[in-house]
Structure 1
Amino acid sequence: MDFPTIHTNIWDAVIAVPFVLITTEFIKWTTKIPHKYVPTVATILGLLISVFYSHRHDLSAGLFMGFFYGSAAVGSYAGLKTAWLAYRSTEKK
């Protein structure tokens, strides 16, 4: 069994991941879901976008990239939040 060839392009990094991040934040602000479910929401959004839009002709690539979109969005949010909190804590000293 051969592994699928997955082509990563500019769509993945510049459009899909920020879209998942922004949509997850919007859902978080409007529905007040518990914070422990936010990564799950991001993963589901990433899977939906990847399977039904960006990789609609290859299910295995869509699933793989969907998890990538969700994880990248959560990681980007966590990194930005940590950097912002570190900046704010040094600003007050």
Structure 2
Amino acid sequence: MIMMLNEFPVIHTNIWDAIWAVPVILVIILLFKIFKLPTSWVSTVATVSGLLLSIFISHRGNLSAGIFMGIFYGAAAVGTIYSVKASYLAFREL
């Protein structure tokens, strides 16, 4: 039997994943920045930690959902870091 790959995977997520996952990734990024992590590595650390949290904790047993959501968790953390930094620098220029 030939299996058609035209169905998207069902990803069950809720708001609690984003409420705890993104702040945990932010703390991980800030800890790495304390130890003088180069700025070019911030997005890599966020993506890897988002993938690890999502695959092994949030979406255990569903690899495709873990990868999909882990990338979003890391991107949300990086976006938060850089938007706060841009807002702070804009505020200082006033």
CA RMSD of superposed structures (Å): 1.1
Work out which of the two has the higher radius of gyration on C-alpha atoms and give 1 or 2: 2
Which contiguous aligned blocks of 4+ residues in structure 1 show a shift greater than 3 angstroms? none
Bigger proportion of residues as helix: 1
Is residue 18 of structure 2 the alignment partner of residue 16 of structure 1? no
Corresponding residue for residue 63 of structure 2? 59
Letter in 1 for 2:92: R
Partner of 2:49: 45
The percent identity for this pair of structures is: 54
Deviations 1:15-43 (A, max 9, x none): 1011101111111212x221101100110
Amino acid at match of 2:26: L
Aligned length: 89
Aligned partner of 1:81: which letter?
Answer: K
Provide, for residues 39-62 of structure 1, a one-character-per-residue CA deviation record: whole Å limited to 9, x for no partner.
001100000000000001100000
Structure 2 unaligned spans of 5+:
none
TM, length-normalised to structure 1: 0.88
What is the SS of the residue equivalent to 2:57?
helix
Deviation of the 1:12 alpha carbon: 2.7
Unaligned ranges ≥5, structure 1 = none
Deviates more, 1:60-69 or 1:10-19: 10-19
2:85 counterpart residue number: 81
TM-score for both structures, normalised by structure 2: 0.88
